[in-house]
């Protein structure tokens, strides 16, 4: 019996050497390991053997079976690899064909810029405060130190809203800036904390309106982001530091800023912040109109009258405020030449963001 097993092993292994495709491997498996193979016949016949022979033959038969299975298994792996290799050769694709795109939308560029502004000021502790768009002359101008007929009103041509009643010197209007929110925010705050109010640090985003001709450079509606910080011991130096930090976050760490004196009725001293033109580095180009500097925002120390109108004692509290147009910032960052693109909503423009 054992001799026969050895014979089967040798025959099978030498037959396996000749096997060189999957089909003949299958035949080989049937012949040497299949149900009616000689080896299996021996297993089946184990029962007829004597008690002494049975374990010995059984063990040998098992060893042969394992040897044959191992050997055929190796062949199988070999053939499998060979087949994959053959398949791979036929599976070449044109990698230059366009990819299958998922459909995705995008956020309007103005919203994207607003969010970046929120993030930068958010990091510096500023909270976001929003207020209404239809305002009164009182909040939009008077409480911000623009008395009726003040010449600075020329800088903010206003859309007025028709009212049923005669409102005298306090007509309804579309806010020309988000500054009325400064008054709302300060009054809410100082009414809530009449004794020793904690500091305010907010930004005020939102749509504003000006009576202007719509051209490549001017729009009747625009998003403004204002900022307001009120506390004890806030200085013009803090204003410069905060806004220069903002400029570096927004326009790159290399951004240079300059502050030049300007005029806004609700701040004193007032300033404009420019950044060095990042396209020409200050030599003058079409983007900065030869000036080398780009006007980014207006700012200043909150005027004592405005602090007082907001319920703060200007002898104790000080603060700064600033305001910028977010479309202008988007235009600067992306070299957009026509402000009318923003509300035209041509998908060929919006798709690029």
Partner 1 sequence: MKVPISWLKEYVEINLPIEELAYKLTLAGLEVEEIRYVGLPMLEEKQQATKISGFSWNPEEIVIGEIREVMPHPNADRLVLCRLDDGEQEHTVLTGAPNLFPYLEKGELDPPLKVAYAREGATIIDAYNETKDIMLTTLKRKKIRGVDSYSMACSERELGISEEHEGIILLDQDAPTGQALAEYMGDAVLDIAITPNIARAASILGVAREVAAITDEKLIPLTLETVTEGDPIKGRVSIEIKEPELNPRFVLGLIEDVEKKPSPYWVQRRLKLAGIRPIDCVVDATNYTMLEIGEPLHAFDYDVLLERAGGKPPSIITRRAKSGETLTTLDDIERKLHDFTVLVTDQSGPLSLAGVMGGADSEVGEKTRNVLLEGASWNYVNIRRTVSAQGLPSEAAYRFERGVHPAIASLGVQRCLEWMRKWTGGKVAQGLVDEYPLPPVDPKVKITPGDIQRWLGISLSAVEIGELLKKLDFEVIIKKDELVVNTPPHRLDIGQGMVGKADLVEEIARVYGYDQIPETNLADGLPLQVGNRALEMEDKIRDKLAGIGLQEIVTYRITSPEAELRVFPPDHNLPDQDYLEITNPISSDKTVMRRSLLASLLEVVEKNRRSRERIALFEIGLEFFPNGENKIPVDEKLKLAIALTGVRTHHSWQCADQDLMDFYDLKGLIEELLADLHIENVSYTTDTAPSYHPGKCARIEMDGKLLGFMGEIHPKVKENYKLAEAPLTVAILDMETLLNKVDDLFNVESIPDQPPVLEDLALVVDDDVPAQTVQSLILLAGGETLTEVSLFDVYRGEQLGEGKKSLAYSLVYQHPKKTLTDKEVAAIRESIVKRLEKELGAQLRSW
Instruction: Answer yes or no whether residue 269 interacts with partner 1 by CB under 8 A.
Output: yes
Q: Which is nearer to partner 1, 29 or 242 (CB)?
A: 242
Is 108 one of the binding residues for partner 1 (CB under 8 A)? yes
Size of the site for partner 1 (CB under 8 A): 106
Q: Is 130 in the site for partner 1 (CB under 8 A)?
A: yes
341 binds partner 1 (CB under 8 A): no
d(CA 109, CA 303): 33
Minimum CB separation of residue 321 from partner 1 in Å reads 13
Residue placing its CB nearer to partner 1 in the complex, 17 or 94: 94
Q: Are 46 and 2 in contact (CB under 8 A)?
A: no
Please select the residue that binds partner 1; options are 52, 89, 154, 254, rule is CB under 8 A.
154
Could you write out the DSSP letters of every residue in 127-184?
Answer: EE----SEEEHHHHTGGGT--TT-GGGGGS---EE--SS--TT--EEE-SSSTHHHHH
- Residues 179 and 137: beta-carbon distance below 8 Å: no
Residue 240 burial class via C-beta count within 10 angstroms: exposed 0-12, middle 13-18, buried 19 and up: middle
Site track for partner 1 across 289-328, x = CB under 8 A: xxxxx-------x-xxx--x-----xx--x----------
Residue 129 binds to partner 1 (criterion: CB under 8 A): yes
Helix, coil or strand: residue 289: coil
Site for partner 1 in 36-75 (CB under 8 A): none
Q: How many CA atoms lie within 13 A of 245 on its CB side?
A: 12
Q: Is residue 195 a contact point for partner 1 (CB under 8 A)?
A: no
Using CB under 8 A, which residues numbered 236 to 265 contact partner 1? Answer: 236-238, 240-242, 244-245, 258-263
Q: Which of residues 87-106 bind partner 1 (CB under 8 A)?
A: 97-98, 100-106
Taking the complex as a whole, the smallest distance from the CB of residue 217 to partner 1 amounts, in Å, to 14
- Least distance in Å: CB of 323 to partner 1? 16
Cα–Cα distances (Å) from 47 to 53, 60, 233, in that order, read 10, 15, 103
> How many Å apart are CA 143 and CA 157, to the nearest integer?
17
């Amino acid at each position: 019996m054992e001799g026969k097993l050895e014979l089967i092993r040798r025959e099978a292994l030498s037959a396996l050497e000749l096997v060189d495709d999957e089909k003949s491997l299958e035949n080989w498996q049937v012949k040497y390991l299949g149900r009616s193979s000689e080896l299996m016949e021996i297993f089946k016949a184990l029962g007829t053997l004597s008690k002494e022979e049975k374990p010995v033959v059984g063990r040998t038969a098992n060893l042969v079976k394992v040897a044959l299975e191992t050997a055929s298994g190796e062949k199988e792996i070999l053939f499998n690899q060979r087949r994959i290799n053959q398949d791979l050769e036929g599976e070449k694709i044109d990698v230059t064909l366009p990819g299958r795109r998922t459909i995705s939308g995008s956020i309007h560029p103005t919203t994207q810029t607003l969010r970046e502004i929120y993030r930068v000021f958010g990091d510096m502790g500023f909270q976001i405060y929003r207020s209404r768009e239809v305002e009164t002359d009182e909040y939009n101008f008077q409480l911000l130190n623009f008395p009726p007929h003040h010449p600075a009103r020329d800088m903010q041509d206003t859309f007025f809203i028709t009212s049923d009643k005669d409102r005298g010197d306090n007509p309804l209007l579309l806010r020309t800036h988000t500054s009325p929110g400064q008054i709302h925010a300060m009054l809410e705050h100082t009414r809530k904390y009449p004794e020793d109010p904690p500091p305010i640090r907010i930004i005020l985003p939102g749509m504003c309106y000006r009576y202007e001709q719509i051209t490549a450079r001017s729009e009747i509606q625009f998003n403004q982001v204002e900022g307001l910080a009120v506390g004890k011991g806030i200085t013009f130096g803090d204003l410069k530091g905060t806004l220069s930090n903002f400029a570096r976050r927004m326009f790159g760490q290399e951004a240079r800023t300059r502050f030049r004196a300007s005029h806004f009725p609700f701040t004193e001293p007032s300033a404009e912040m420019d950044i060095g033109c990042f396209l020409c580095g200050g030599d003058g180009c079409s983007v900065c109109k030869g000036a080398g500097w780009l006007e980014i925002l207006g700012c200043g120390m909150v005027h004592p009258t405005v602090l007082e109108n907001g319920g703060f004692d200007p002898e104790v509290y000080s603060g700064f405020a600033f305001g910028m147009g977010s479309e202008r910032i988007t235009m600067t960052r992306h070299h957009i030449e026509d402000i009318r693109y923003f509300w035209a909503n041509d998908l060929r423009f919006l798709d690029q963001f």
